[in-house]
Amino acid sequence: MPLANTATSVPVVVDEVKCIADKGCTVCVDVCPLDVLRISDLTGKAYMKYDECWYCMPCEADCPTGAVTVNIPYLLK
């Protein structure tokens, strides 16, 4: 069976103005227990690639510039 691209709204939001991933920072990507964050090849900024979030917050707590916000996933909000 072929695969579809189903849209999903992701809970982790990155403020691209504050994010310094393009300067080499990978803190949020490093600390995530579920390994769901990546640095975009396009923008050089961090983003949530996989909607597999435990909304636990290390990404937000450890971000050196306060660029990351963890929201409650929509299904349980």
Partner 1 sequence: MDEIRSGISEVQCDVLVIGGGTAGPMAAIRARKKNPKANVILLEKANVKRSGAISMGMDGLNNTVIPGYATPEQYTKEITIANDGIVDQAAVYKYAQNCYDIIQELDRFGIRFQKNQNGDYDVKKVHHIGTYVLPMPNGETVKKALYRQLKRERVLISNRFMATRLLTGKDGRVAGAICVNTRSAEFLVIRAKAVILCMGAAGRLGLPTSGYLYGTYENAANSGDGYAMAYHAGAGLANLECYQINPLIKDYNGPACAYVAGPFGGYTANNEGRRFIECDYWSGQMMQEFYNELQSGKGPVFLKLNHLAPETVTEIERVLHIVERPTRGRFHSNRGTDYKDEMIEMHISEIGFCSGHSASGVYVDENARTTVAGLYAAGDMASVPHNYMLGAFTNGAFAGEDAVDFVKEVDYADIDAEAIIKEQERVLAPTQRADGIPPNQVEYKARRLVNDYLQPPKVTRKMQLAQRRFEEVRDDMNNAMVARDSHELMRALEVQSILDCADMAAAASLYRTESRWGLYHNRVEYPGRDNDNWFCHTILTKGPDGKPAHAKKPIAPYIIEIEEHERDAYYKQRIVASEAAE
Residues near partner 1 (CB under 8 A): 1-3, 30-35, 38, 49-50, 52-58, 61-62, 70-73, 75-77
Task: Give dist(CA 11, CA 69) in Å, integer.
Answer: 8
Q: At its nearest, how many Å lie between partner 1 and the CB of residue 40? A: 11
Q: Which is nearer to partner 1, 19 or 70 (CB)?
A: 70
Q: Which of left, alpha, beta for 17 (phi over 0: left; psi -120 to 50: alpha)?
A: alpha
Q: Which is nearer to partner 1, 12 or 67 (CB)?
A: 12
37, β-bridge pairs: 48
